[in-house]
Amino acid sequence: MDDLQFRRAIYADPNNQDADTIAAQQQDPSKKQFAQEICQLDEKIMRALQVPVPEGLAEKLILRQTLASHQVQKRKTRVHLAIAASVAIVGGLMLNFMQFSSAYNNLGDYALAHVYHEQGSFANNATSQVTLASLNQKMATFDGNFSQSLGKLLFADYCRFDGMKSLHLVYQGKTSPVTVFIVPKNEQLSFSPHFNDKKLFGSSLEFTHSNIIVVADKNESLGQWQQKISETVSWLI
Protein backbone atom coordinates (compact mmCIF):
# COMPACT_ATOMS: atom_id res chain seq x y z
CA MET A 1 0.00 0.00 0.00
CA ASP A 2 1.55 3.31 -1.09
CA ASP A 3 1.59 6.40 1.08
CA LEU A 4 -1.38 8.12 -0.62
CA GLN A 5 -3.65 5.08 -0.29
CA PHE A 6 -2.64 4.66 3.34
CA ARG A 7 -3.40 8.28 4.21
CA ARG A 8 -6.79 8.14 2.48
CA ALA A 9 -7.67 4.98 4.40
CA ILE A 10 -6.67 6.55 7.76
CA TYR A 11 -8.46 9.84 7.02
CA ALA A 12 -11.61 7.90 6.16
CA ASP A 13 -11.39 5.76 9.31
CA PRO A 14 -8.70 6.53 11.94
CA ASN A 15 -9.38 3.13 13.54
CA ASN A 16 -9.08 1.26 10.27
CA GLN A 17 -8.36 -2.41 10.94
CA ASP A 18 -7.97 -3.46 7.32
CA ALA A 19 -5.20 -6.04 6.87
CA ASP A 20 -3.33 -3.95 4.30
CA THR A 21 -3.48 -0.89 6.55
CA ILE A 22 -2.19 -2.81 9.56
CA ALA A 23 0.58 -4.35 7.50
CA ALA A 24 1.61 -0.94 6.17
CA GLN A 25 1.92 0.36 9.75
CA GLN A 26 4.01 -2.60 10.81
CA GLN A 27 6.35 -2.15 7.86
CA ASP A 28 6.70 1.65 8.11
CA PRO A 29 7.05 3.37 11.52
CA SER A 30 6.15 6.76 9.97
CA LYS A 31 2.80 5.37 8.79
CA LYS A 32 2.16 3.95 12.25
CA GLN A 33 2.95 7.32 13.86
CA PHE A 34 0.66 9.09 11.38
CA ALA A 35 -2.19 6.68 12.16
CA GLN A 36 -1.72 7.26 15.92
CA GLU A 37 -1.78 11.06 15.50
CA ILE A 38 -4.99 10.90 13.46
CA CYS A 39 -6.57 8.60 16.08
CA GLN A 40 -5.66 11.07 18.86
CA LEU A 41 -7.10 13.96 16.84
CA ASP A 42 -10.29 11.99 16.25
CA GLU A 43 -10.64 11.34 19.99
CA LYS A 44 -10.19 15.06 20.79
CA ILE A 45 -12.89 15.95 18.27
CA MET A 46 -15.26 13.36 19.77
CA ARG A 47 -14.67 14.69 23.29
CA ALA A 48 -15.27 18.25 22.11
CA LEU A 49 -18.58 17.21 20.59
CA GLN A 50 -19.74 15.55 23.79
CA VAL A 51 -21.18 18.73 25.37
CA PRO A 52 -23.47 17.91 28.33
CA VAL A 53 -27.08 19.07 27.94
CA PRO A 54 -27.91 21.73 30.59
CA GLU A 55 -30.40 20.61 33.22
CA GLY A 56 -33.95 21.68 32.40
CA LEU A 57 -33.09 22.65 28.81
CA ALA A 58 -36.20 20.99 27.41
CA GLU A 59 -38.46 22.77 29.90
CA LYS A 60 -36.78 26.11 29.16
CA LEU A 61 -37.23 25.65 25.42
CA ILE A 62 -40.89 24.76 25.89
CA LEU A 63 -41.38 27.78 28.16
CA ARG A 64 -39.67 30.07 25.63
CA GLN A 65 -41.88 28.73 22.86
CA THR A 66 -44.98 29.19 25.03
CA LEU A 67 -44.03 32.78 25.87
CA ALA A 68 -43.36 33.55 22.22
CA SER A 69 -46.74 32.12 21.28
CA HIS A 70 -48.35 34.14 24.05
CA GLN A 71 -46.76 37.35 22.76
CA VAL A 72 -48.09 36.66 19.26
CA GLN A 73 -51.55 36.04 20.69
CA LYS A 74 -51.36 39.27 22.71
CA ARG A 75 -50.55 41.27 19.58
CA LYS A 76 -53.45 39.68 17.75
CA THR A 77 -55.93 40.48 20.53
CA ARG A 78 -54.67 44.01 21.26
CA VAL A 79 -56.97 45.56 18.69
CA HIS A 80 -59.95 43.62 20.01
CA LEU A 81 -59.16 44.69 23.55
CA ALA A 82 -58.90 48.33 22.50
CA ILE A 83 -62.31 48.13 20.88
CA ALA A 84 -63.77 46.38 23.91
CA ALA A 85 -62.24 48.99 26.23
CA SER A 86 -63.74 51.80 24.18
CA VAL A 87 -67.16 50.18 24.35
CA ALA A 88 -66.74 49.68 28.12
CA ILE A 89 -65.80 53.32 28.65
CA VAL A 90 -68.78 54.55 26.67
CA GLY A 91 -71.04 52.16 28.55
CA GLY A 92 -69.63 53.29 31.87
CA LEU A 93 -70.15 56.93 31.07
CA MET A 94 -73.74 56.26 30.06
CA LEU A 95 -74.33 54.26 33.22
CA ASN A 96 -72.90 57.02 35.41
CA PHE A 97 -75.03 59.52 33.59
CA MET A 98 -78.19 57.51 34.25
CA GLN A 99 -77.29 56.49 37.80
CA PHE A 100 -76.26 59.22 40.21
CA SER A 101 -75.57 56.91 43.15
CA SER A 102 -73.22 53.98 43.71
CA ALA A 103 -74.52 50.43 43.50
CA TYR A 104 -73.61 50.19 47.20
CA ASN A 105 -74.43 52.82 49.77
CA ASN A 106 -72.52 51.50 52.79
CA LEU A 107 -69.08 50.14 53.65
CA GLY A 108 -70.35 46.70 54.61
CA ASP A 109 -72.11 45.87 51.36
CA TYR A 110 -69.17 47.03 49.27
CA ALA A 111 -66.65 45.15 51.44
CA LEU A 112 -68.60 41.89 51.05
CA ALA A 113 -68.86 42.37 47.27
CA HIS A 114 -65.11 43.08 47.09
CA VAL A 115 -64.23 39.92 49.03
CA TYR A 116 -66.52 37.72 46.92
CA HIS A 117 -65.10 39.24 43.74
CA GLU A 118 -61.60 38.05 44.65
CA GLN A 119 -62.64 34.82 46.35
CA GLY A 120 -60.38 32.00 45.25
CA SER A 121 -57.41 34.28 44.65
CA PHE A 122 -56.00 33.67 48.13
CA ALA A 123 -55.31 30.36 49.88
CA ASN A 124 -55.33 30.19 53.66
CA ASN A 125 -52.37 27.76 53.65
CA ALA A 126 -50.22 29.86 51.30
CA THR A 127 -46.53 29.94 52.20
CA SER A 128 -45.91 33.52 51.04
CA GLN A 129 -45.72 36.16 53.73
CA VAL A 130 -45.54 39.97 53.63
CA THR A 131 -43.20 41.61 56.12
CA LEU A 132 -44.28 44.28 58.58
CA ALA A 133 -41.83 46.74 56.99
CA SER A 134 -43.38 46.21 53.56
CA LEU A 135 -46.86 46.68 55.01
CA ASN A 136 -45.92 49.93 56.71
CA GLN A 137 -44.44 51.29 53.49
CA LYS A 138 -47.90 51.04 51.98
CA MET A 139 -49.60 52.25 55.17
CA ALA A 140 -47.56 55.45 54.93
CA THR A 141 -49.82 56.46 52.03
CA PHE A 142 -52.65 56.67 54.56
CA ASP A 143 -50.49 58.29 57.27
CA GLY A 144 -50.75 55.10 59.30
CA ASN A 145 -48.42 52.56 60.87
CA PHE A 146 -48.68 49.11 62.48
CA SER A 147 -46.45 48.64 65.52
CA GLN A 148 -46.62 44.86 65.17
CA SER A 149 -48.15 42.24 62.90
CA LEU A 150 -51.77 41.21 63.36
CA GLY A 151 -50.86 37.70 62.21
CA LYS A 152 -49.44 35.99 59.14
CA LEU A 153 -49.94 38.51 56.34
CA LEU A 154 -50.40 36.70 53.02
CA PHE A 155 -51.11 39.69 50.77
CA ALA A 156 -50.85 43.49 50.94
CA ASP A 157 -51.46 45.79 48.02
CA TYR A 158 -53.45 48.80 46.92
CA CYS A 159 -56.93 48.33 45.48
CA ARG A 160 -59.91 50.40 44.34
CA PHE A 161 -62.63 50.47 46.98
CA ASP A 162 -65.63 52.13 45.34
CA GLY A 163 -63.19 54.17 43.25
CA MET A 164 -60.98 55.15 46.21
CA LYS A 165 -57.35 54.12 46.51
CA SER A 166 -57.37 51.78 49.49
CA LEU A 167 -55.18 49.11 51.05
CA HIS A 168 -56.22 45.46 50.75
CA LEU A 169 -54.73 43.05 53.31
CA VAL A 170 -55.27 39.29 53.54
CA TYR A 171 -54.28 37.45 56.73
CA GLN A 172 -54.22 33.75 57.48
CA GLY A 173 -57.34 32.85 59.48
CA LYS A 174 -58.38 29.82 61.49
CA THR A 175 -60.15 28.15 58.56
CA SER A 176 -60.14 30.71 55.73
CA PRO A 177 -58.42 34.02 54.90
CA VAL A 178 -59.30 37.16 56.85
CA THR A 179 -59.59 40.34 54.76
CA VAL A 180 -58.78 43.80 56.11
CA PHE A 181 -59.41 47.03 54.18
CA ILE A 182 -57.93 50.44 55.00
CA VAL A 183 -60.32 52.84 53.29
CA PRO A 184 -60.28 56.67 53.22
CA LYS A 185 -63.50 58.22 54.51
CA ASN A 186 -66.07 58.94 51.84
CA GLU A 187 -69.51 60.47 52.26
CA GLN A 188 -70.93 58.27 49.48
CA LEU A 189 -70.58 55.14 51.62
CA SER A 190 -72.21 55.22 55.03
CA PHE A 191 -70.39 53.69 57.97
CA SER A 192 -71.33 50.07 58.85
CA PRO A 193 -70.19 49.04 62.35
CA HIS A 194 -71.35 45.44 61.82
CA PHE A 195 -72.60 43.55 58.78
CA ASN A 196 -72.93 39.99 57.50
CA ASP A 197 -74.54 37.61 55.05
CA LYS A 198 -74.96 33.82 55.14
CA LYS A 199 -71.22 33.12 54.89
CA LEU A 200 -69.21 36.15 55.99
CA PHE A 201 -69.21 38.56 58.89
CA GLY A 202 -67.68 42.01 59.02
CA SER A 203 -67.01 44.94 61.29
CA SER A 204 -65.64 48.44 60.81
CA LEU A 205 -63.45 50.67 62.93
CA GLU A 206 -63.77 54.42 62.43
CA PHE A 207 -60.71 56.65 62.67
CA THR A 208 -60.18 60.34 61.90
CA HIS A 209 -59.33 60.05 58.21
CA SER A 210 -59.77 56.35 57.44
CA ASN A 211 -61.93 53.37 58.23
CA ILE A 212 -60.57 49.85 58.81
CA ILE A 213 -62.87 47.02 57.81
CA VAL A 214 -62.46 43.35 58.77
CA VAL A 215 -64.26 40.55 56.87
CA ALA A 216 -64.01 36.90 57.93
CA ASP A 217 -65.99 33.70 58.32
CA LYS A 218 -67.94 32.65 61.42
CA ASN A 219 -64.91 30.92 62.99
CA GLU A 220 -63.11 34.21 63.57
CA SER A 221 -63.64 36.53 66.52
CA LEU A 222 -64.08 39.97 64.95
CA GLY A 223 -63.87 41.49 68.43
CA GLN A 224 -60.32 40.16 68.83
CA TRP A 225 -59.33 41.46 65.40
CA GLN A 226 -60.76 44.88 66.24
CA GLN A 227 -58.88 44.92 69.52
CA LYS A 228 -55.57 43.97 67.89
CA ILE A 229 -56.04 46.66 65.23
CA SER A 230 -56.87 49.32 67.83
CA GLU A 231 -53.78 48.36 69.87
CA THR A 232 -51.30 48.22 67.00
CA VAL A 233 -52.32 50.90 64.47
CA SER A 234 -51.29 54.52 64.91
CA TRP A 235 -51.86 57.60 62.78
CA LEU A 236 -49.89 60.74 62.10
CA ILE A 237 -51.47 63.83 63.62
DSSP the chain: --HHHHHHHHHH-TT---HHHHHHHHH-HHHHHHHHHHHHHHHHHHHHH-PPPPTTHHHHHHHHHHHHHHHHHHHHHHHHHHHHHHHHHHHHHHHHHH--S-S--BHHHHHHHHHHHTTTS--TT------HHHHHHHHGGGTEEESS-SS-EEEEEEEEETTEEEEEEEE--SSS-EEEEEEE--TTSB--SEEE-SSEEEEEEE-SSEEEEEEEETTS-HHHHHHHHHHHEEE--
pLDDT digits (tens, 9 = 90+) for 41-76: 877 787 777 766 667 667 777 777 777 776 776 676
Q: Which fold has domain 107-235?
A: Phosphorylase Kinase; domain 1 (3.30.200)
pLDDT interval class at 85 (50, 70, 90) = low
Q: What is the mean pLDDT of residues 198-203?
A: 94
pLDDT digits (tens, 9 = 90+) for 168-198: 999 999 999 999 999 998 877 888 899 999 9
Q: Taking the model in full, what pTM does it have?
A: 0.57
Domain boundaries along the sequence of the chain: 3-49, 107-235
pLDDT interval class at 4 (50, 70, 90) = confident
